[in-house]
Each structure stands twice: as C-alpha cells, then as structure tokens.
Amino acid sequence: MQNAQIAAIFDRVADLLEFQGANPFRLRAYRNAARTIGDLSEPVAAILADESRSLTDVAGIGDDLASKISTLIETGTLPLLDDLLAKIPASVLGMLRVPGLGPKKAAALYKQLQIESLDQLREACEAGRVRELKGFGKKTEETILEGIDLAAHAEERIYWAEADELVQSLLAHFAKLDCIRQIEPAGSYRRGRETVGDLDFLVDSDAPGRVMDCLAEYSETDRILARGETKMSIRLVGGLQVDLRVVPADLFGAALQYFTGSKDHNVVLRGMAKQKGLKINEWGVFRTAEGDDSYVAGAKEADVYAALELPCFPPELREARQEFQWAHEGNLPQLVEIADIRGDLHMHTTATDGKATLEEMVEAAIARRLQYIAITDHSKRVTMANGLDARRLRAQWKEIDALRDQYGGFTILKGIECDILESGGMDLPDDVLAEADWVVASVHYGQNQSESQITDRILGALENPSVSAIAHPTGRLINRRKPYAVDLEQVLAAAARFGKLMELNANPARLDLDDVACAAAKRHRVPIVISTDAHSTRGLDVMRYGILQARRAGLTKADVANTRDWQELRGLIGKRPAYPTQELAGPTM
C-alpha cells in the first residue's frame, strides 16, 4: 500500500469521526498523521520492513497509529474504518467532497433531512429545503448546489500523480515475469491528463495466462471483474479499475497507439487513413485499396504513424488540438523536459507554513541539481499561514544574504508570494517589494468576487513594476474547487504588455494554469514559469507534474522561463513580446 493511500485512509477516518462529532484531539491526530505520511520521502512499507527502525521514530506517529499503519500494510484494511463505515451509509462520503460542505454540515444534512447521497442533496437544494436549516442559508445552499457536479466528478477520477504511484507499483510487480517482452501503460495516464479514471496496460507476451495470474496476485487487487483469454479487468482496493490486454509482438505498437488515444485523435487518424486507402485499428494498419486487407504496420507505434506519413506524436499532444496542423507544417514542437529546468521560483519555509527551514530548502534544491531558487513565503494577509509583514520579510532577506556566501555558486533569490488584496493593490508596500529579487502575486481571498473585480485586481498587480509573475492564476483545486471567474485573455494580454510571467503551479492538486491556458499564454508570447510551490523538501519533486502539463500545452524549452539561467530569466521581466500579440492569431487549444 502506497503512502498516499494510507494518508487518504487516515483523512477519511478523520472525516467520519468529525461526522460523528468525535473528540477534536482525536481528529487532529489522524489529520496530522495523514499529512506526515503524505510528506514522507520513503515508503512506510520500507520502514516497517527494516528491523532496525520503528514507525514511532517518525514524528507524530505513536504506538496506536503505528499499529494501525502496520495493519493497513499487512492486510490492506483498517478495522476502525470498517466500523465507522458500518455506522454511516457509504454514499454519505460523496457529500464530504462537495466544496464548502465539511463533515459537520454533512452530518446536519444527514440527521435533519435524512440526505444520504449527492442526488438527494441536489434535490433538497433545488427544493429550497437546505437553506431552512440553522447555519446554512440561501448562499450556502447555492454554493452546495454548484459544488455537487464537482464532487460527483471527483469520485470518478484521481490525480495523475496518484495514478502514477499505482502504475509504478504495478510495473514493479510485473517485473518478476520473464515472459513479458514489453509492457506499457496507455490511456489518459500515458497522455498525462491531470486526472485519470482507470488504468490500461498493454503487454507483449506469449503467455497471457501467466500475465493475468500475476495481475490477480497484485496486493492491491480487490476483485476480478472479468477475465478472458487475453483480456482482464480488476478493481483495486481504492476503487480504480485496471484493464490488461496481452497482444503479440507484431500488434503491440498498433494496440499501444489505439489504446493511448485520445478518441478524438484516433478519429482524425482513421479519416486520414481512409483517404490513403488504408485502415487503422488496434490490430494494425492495413491496405484496403485492392479489396483484400493486407498488413502494413503494427509492431512499433512509430511505424503506425509512418504509414500515414506522420511523425510519432508525443502522447501528451494526442488530443486532436493542433498536433496534425503542426505535423502538416513540419513544425511539431520539441517539448520541454524535466532536465531543461534550472530553477524553482515558488516555495515556502518554516517562516510561514512550510515544513523545512531556509537552509533545508536550499540544500534540497542543490541536491536536485538546480542552479537557483526563490524563497517566496506568504505575505501578512495570509494570517492562517503566519504571513510575513515588512519587518519579518526583511529579516528573512538578511538571512538569505548571509546564506549566499555559504552556498557560493548557487543563487538564492529574495522573494515573496504577495497577496493581491480584495480591494485591489498589493499586501506589502511598494518600497518593500522593490527590494525583492522575485515577487509572485496571488489571489487567496475574495475568490467569490465577480469576474470584473478579480480581473481588475490581477491587472493592477501586473502593472506593479515589482511584480514578476502571477501565481496559480485561476485559483482552482482539481476535484475540489472550481477556478474563480477571471478574464484570462485580458490578463494574458496585460502580462504581454508589461512583460510579466505566468505561473504553471506544479502541485498536482493545482496544475494551474491548465494546459489550454498555457497554450493561450504561448499564443500571447507570455513566458510560463513552472514552479513547485513546495512546502517541504519533498515538495520540490512535484516539478515533473508541471512539466507534463506544459508538454500537453505544446510548450518547448524556449516557452518556459526557468529553463534559462537566472541572469537571462531576469532580463525577460518587463520586456514586451518581440511583436504585437494580435499578429499571433492562429489555432488555439
């Protein structure tokens, strides 16, 4: 069982205990344990397997929690969770995913209105019954109604990062079989979509029975849904479905292309094949002009595309957006890679809500072979994170000055994540911001304001000469919170006009800007800076999720600002695009 799964189980236990009105100290213990386990840099299972170590050595994990973690690792279940679920209908858990509807409010709905599902909740909101409960009201009812679809969607899909943990675990599980010549994940996971609804695996083997037996023996298998001669479907303990197909070597490339998709990409491919007298499907490419199908290609994915005189598209681009036009023009982009990144320009320390000290973040960045970082703790408006006022910020910058001598050759930038206030303007005085090397401006409060209000706030920040970039520009949290209303076209045009950057926040719960908006930024010639927003040393590792999103947007190394060294990147800020944005008209994503 992966760390993320254990953390999710402890979070669920805390939700159910809160739903029941349990002791807040008990709730906090499970919440803290979930955060601790989620932040561990090594698998919990590895600690348990080491006889010289104990889980209780991990801060915040006592004997009781250690025992429960051991039970989860050994059995895949937690009796406490089973007991809690036995007392509450499973459908109630869906209500806890509705934005703004915490366990206490969900409990009130369950006890007073006997609401046990999202469908019942929607019906009650539409009938105006929810607003009549104490502590709710019309506005709360409207917010709940807006969030129901988001909650329903969240039940169906998981973050790509979570899917990746499962994929890597499954690949390691299959690695023991010597009868597997090739194995590849396909589907939306391979295309790098930010959420994944199921997992698809293609296997090249002459022993499909052994391969399927191996899948059945996987530790996270809950039940087998279907099994044939070469196909198998299982459901994992967490509910995710895994589909496996075993194919011969001469069909592997065609099957991989077909099951990677997307559906829209494949529709275009089939149309192009038909025009050339060809047929393309999961079995290969066939010539049909003479009335008798003859095999053309299928062993390699590149051969499938070559038969249609096309390049082998990176999986991230296969969404029937611009990839075929790029191919026609001979202009398929060479997509940005993780190795291109030289610096990380958004992170937090223990000065606010981070879990690592300034020195620890610096050393972790050096260990990851970065050339520079910006320390960007929160400004004072974010009181819940102990945000910095001018005095504390300048004191931190003095610490950075001292560290620069200690870490010669590595650049530490004096930065700040400065809030854009609800009424407009920045959270810190202009003279303070002018002393910074790097300022990311962000909207944390007033996210329910109108589109014009939020847009004007961000436009005002872009005009500030000290602002370098806009952080997580739409404020979304995937599966948890919709983007706030903002006119991105206006924002991107202003960013181009003032020579400012836009962030792609690599946190897998954010990935903000999304792929479509990143492509729009490229159209406006606005550089993207991919940042981790790390709150721990391990948080620096989420950079690869941002890279994946950037690749889906078609971004190259040149489109991403922090692929440059610091001196070159600094020269981008305040510089207008080389030509007016209206000259860049063309297909959008």
Compute the C-alpha angle 29/33/36, nearest 5°.
140
Query: What rounded mean pLDDT belongs to the chain?
Result: 90
Per-residue CA distances from 364 to 281, 508, 539 (Å): 47, 20, 10
Q: Report, as an integer, the average pLDDT of 89-116.
A: 80
Kindly state the average pLDDT of the residues 495-513: 96
Question: What was the pLDDT predicted at 482?
Answer: 85
Burial of 286 (0-12, 13-18, 19+ CB in 10 A): buried
In this model, does residue 219 exceed pLDDT 80?
A: yes
CA distance 553 to 572: 21
402-418 average pLDDT score: 94
**Dihedral of CA 406/412/413/417: which sign?**
negative
539 or 36: which leads in pLDDT = 539
What pLDDT band is residue 38 in, cutting at 50, 70 and 90? confident
Q: Is 1 a residue whose pLDDT tops 70?
A: no
Confidence of residue 41 (pLDDT cuts 50, 70, 90): low
| Amino acid (1-letter code) at residue 205 | S
Is the pLDDT assigned to residue 97 strictly greater than 80?
no
Indicate the pLDDT class of residue 587, thresholds 50, 70 and 90: very low
Give the torsion sign (CA, 380, 384, 386, 387): negative
- Higher-confidence residue of 289 and 145: namely 145
Across residues 542-553, what is the average pLDDT?
A: 97
Confidence of residue 154 (pLDDT cuts 50, 70, 90): low
Q: Which CATH number fits domain 159-247: 3.40.720.10, 3.90.226.10, 3.40.50.1110, 3.30.460.10?
A: 3.30.460.10
pLDDT score recorded for residue 72: 87
* N- to C-terminal Cα separation, the chain: 38
The predicted structure's pLDDT at residue 55: 86
pLDDT of residue 317: 97
- Lowest-pLDDT range of 59-73, 344-358, 389-403, 525-539: 59-73
Q: What is the 3-class SS of 448-491, one letter each residue?
A: CCCHHHHHHHHHHHHHCCCCCEECCCCCCECCCECCCCCCHHHH
Residue 262: alpha-carbon gap to chain centroid: 19
Identify the band that residue 9 occupies on the pLDDT scale cut at 50, 70 and 90. Answer: confident
Question: What's the pLDDT score for residue 588?
Answer: 41
* Share above pLDDT 70 across residues of the chain, in percent, rounded to a whole number: 96
pLDDT tier at 519 (50, 70, 90 boundaries)? very high
Residue 408 has pLDDT above 90, yes or no: no
Distance CA 199, CA 211 (A): 16
Non-local CB neighbours of 96 within 8 Å, separated by 6+ positions = 15, 19, 102, 103, 106
- Entry pTM: 0.81
Lowest-pLDDT choice from 129-138, 379-388, 416-425: 129-138
Q: Which pLDDT score, from 0 to 100, does residue 471 have?
A: 97
Q: Please tell me the CATH superfamily of domain 338-584, with its number.
A: Metal-dependent hydrolases (3.20.20.140)
pLDDT at residue number 238 = 77
Task: Establish how many alpha carbons lie within 13 A of residue 155's alpha carbon, considering only the half-sphere containing its beta carbon.
Answer: 16
Report the alpha-carbon distance of residue 189 to residue 182 in Å, rounded.
Answer: 17
Specify the pLDDT at position 585: 34
Task: Give strand pairing partners of 236.
Answer: 221
- Whether residue 127 is predicted with pLDDT greater than 80 in this model: the reply is yes
Q: Which residues does 567 contact at the CB level (< 8 Å), separation at least 6?
A: none
Q: Dihedral angle at the C-alpha atoms of 126, 129, 130, 136, nearest 10 degrees?
A: 120
Distance CA 267, CA 109 (A): 46
Residue type, 222: D
Q: Is the pLDDT reported for residue 395 higher than 60? A: yes
So what's the pLDDT on residue 528?
97
What span, in angstroms and rounded, lies between the C-alpha atoms of 6 and 12? 10
Distance from C-alpha of 464 to C-alpha of 442, rounded to nearest angstrom: 13
Q: DSSP secondary structure string, 539-557?
A: GGGGHHHHHHHHHHTT-BG
Q: Could you tell me if 269 and 309 are in contact, meaning their C-beta atoms sit under 8 angstroms apart?
A: no
For residues 91 and 331, which has the higher predicted lDDT (pLDDT)?
331
- Among the residue ranges 4-13, 95-104, 393-402, 405-414, the one predicted with the least confidence is 95-104
Q: Quickly state the pLDDT bin for 580 (edges 50, 70, 90).
A: very low
Q: Say if strands 501-505 and 528-531 run parallel, antiparallel, or are unpaired.
A: parallel
Determine the average pLDDT of the residues in 548-574: 96
Contacts of residue 248, Cβ cutoff 8 Å, sequence gap at least 6: 204, 206
pLDDT at 193: 96
Q: Is the pLDDT of residue 438 over 90?
A: yes
Q: How confident is the model at residue 586 (pLDDT cuts 50, 70, 90)?
A: very low
Question: Which one, of 449, 458, 389, 394, lies nearest residue 425 by Cα?
Answer: 458
What CA–CA distance (Å, rounded) separates 48 from 54?
7
Residue-range domain boundaries for the chain:
3-156, 159-247, 253-328, 338-584
C-alpha–C-alpha distance, residues 440 and 461, integer Å: 10
Of 103-107, 366-370, 531-535, where does mean pLDDT reach its minimum? 103-107
Phi/psi for 155 (5° steps) reads -70, -20
CA angle, 71 as apex, 66 and 77 as ends, to 5°?
A: 130
* Inter-residue contact 141 to 130 (CB < 8 Å): yes
Q: Given this model, what pLDDT does residue 189 score?
A: 97
For residues 286 and 295, the answer to whether their CB atoms sit within 8 Å is yes
- CA triplet 503, 509, 512: central angle to 5 degrees? 25
Banded model confidence at residue 266, pLDDT cuts 50, 70, 90: very high
Name the pLDDT band for 579 (thresholds 50, 70, 90): very low
CATH fold group of domain 253-328: Beta Polymerase; domain 3 (3.30.210)
Distance, in Å, from the CA atom of 500 to the CA atom of 494, rounded to the nearest integer, reads 8
Tokens of 225: 């849904």
Residue 254: HSE in the Cβ half-sphere, 13 Å Cα cutoff: 21
At residue 328, the pLDDT reads 94
Distance separating alpha carbons of residues 398 and 406, to the nearest angstrom = 13
| Residue (of 288, 285, 287) closest to 254 by Cα position | 285
The one-character DSSP state at 97 is: T
State mean pLDDT over 470-480. 92
- CA–CA gap between residue 388 and residue 15 (Å, rounded): 31
Span 81-90, mean pLDDT? 80
How far apart are alpha carbons 130 and 469 in whole angstroms? 41
Q: What is the predicted pLDDT for the residue at 23?
A: 82
Q: What angle do CA 473, 475, 478 make, to 5 degrees?
A: 120
Q: How far apart are CA 377 and CA 416, in angstroms?
A: 5
Mean pLDDT of all residues in 557-577: 92
pLDDT, residue 436, reads 97
Residue 25 has pLDDT above 70, yes or no: yes
Query: What is the CA angle 155-160-163, rounded to 5?
Result: 80
The Cβ of residue 281 has, within 10 Å, a number of other Cβ atoms equal to: 16
pLDDT of amino acid 155? 62
Superfamily per CATH, domain 3-156: DNA polymerase beta, N-terminal domain-like (1.10.150.110)
Q: Is pLDDT above 60 for 147? A: yes
- Fold identical between 159-247 and 338-584? no
CA distance 473 to 501: 11
pLDDT mean over 240-259: 96
Q: Give the integer Cα–Cα distance in Å for 301 and 589.
A: 25
Tokens of 483: 């983007």
Among 78-82, 181-185, 298-302, the least confident range: 78-82
